[in-house]
Amino acid sequence: MFIDLRVHSLNSKGVDSPARLLEEAASLGIRLGLCDGIAYDNALSGVEIKAESKRALIKALRTSWRNFDYVVVHGGEAKINRAATQDTRVDILAHPYLGRRDAGVDVVVARQAAQSGVAIEVDLQSIISAKGVARVRQLQKVHRILLLSRKYGFNIVVTSGAKSRYELRGMKEAEAILTSIGFTAKEAKRALEEVPREILEKKKLAKQEIARGVRLVED
């Protein structure tokens, strides 16, 4: 099952209510993570941190990382891409290529992401909504991230990046798009299903930590 971890509802940048998005997700057979910075009871809740500097990012992480099921950092700027992949409290670096001519992931970011376990996000919406030359440039960036992932071993997580019900995609649809642009079937399945599950499990364990290396285990 595709676990789509970056979807925005009416409560942040989207146009549909959380309940409507969950309804649409159920009909598509996918699981949704609402990245609104609100802790929902009935859905996976994430927060997307948009920071101007490394210091601001660390400050935002300190206050919010325990309150949500996963933490996403709004990427794009080189210094933020680097800072986010250094911090183990970050789960996903979203669209590192946003507003850039390159992929936003270089050798340093790739190594750091592999070491700290931060997943690099590729959003389907940036591919779907781009046309002509813009789509070619976007696919070049995705290929670069894919190549670096194969070499350095960091995780790629694919999300829809949806801000409306029409931007959500089902598992089969997302798999078809990914395999058409160069992912192997195994890589596509991992990016859509296994990596998000690992992120959620890792976060669950991290939340149980009461001190570094000490975890509270319930009977």
Partner 1 sequence: MRKRYIAFRVESDRSFTRDEVVRAIVSSALAMFGEAKVAEFNLFVLDFDEAEQQGFVVCSHRGVTEAIASLSLVSEISGERVHIRTLGVSGTVKALKRKFLNRKRHFINAESTVKFKGKEFVVVRESGDCCDALPCDEELIKRLKLRKMRFIGVTKSDLRGEEDAADA
Closer to partner 1 by CB, 22 or 72: give it.
22
Phi/psi of residue 173, nearest 5 degrees: -65, -45
Q: How, if at all, do strands 209-211 and 214-215 pair? A: antiparallel
CA 159 centroid distance within chain = 6
Least CB distance to partner 1 at residue 146 (A): 16
Least CB distance to partner 1 at residue 45 (A): 17
Closer to partner 1 by CB, 39 or 128: give it.
128
DSSP state of 32: E
Least CB distance to partner 1 at residue 8 (A): 11
**Quick check: helix, strand or coil at residue 33?**
strand
**Quick check: helix, strand or coil at residue 108?**
helix
Closer to partner 1 by CB, 176 or 205: give it.
176
Q: Are 120 and 113 in contact (CB under 8 A)?
A: yes
**Beta pairing partners, 194:** none
Q: Give the footprint of partner 1 on this chain (CB under 8 A).
A: 10, 13, 15-17, 19-21, 23-24, 28, 127-129, 131-132, 135, 163-170, 172-177, 179-180
Least CB distance to partner 1 at residue 122 (A): 15
Least CB distance to partner 1 at residue 20 (A): 4
> CB neighbours of 5 closer than 8 A, spacing ≥ 6?
33, 35, 44, 46, 70, 72, 92, 157, 159, 196, 199
Q: CB atoms < 10 A from the CB of 150, how many?
A: 12
Closer to partner 1 by CB, 108 or 176: give it.
176
Closer to partner 1 by CB, 121 or 175: give it.
175
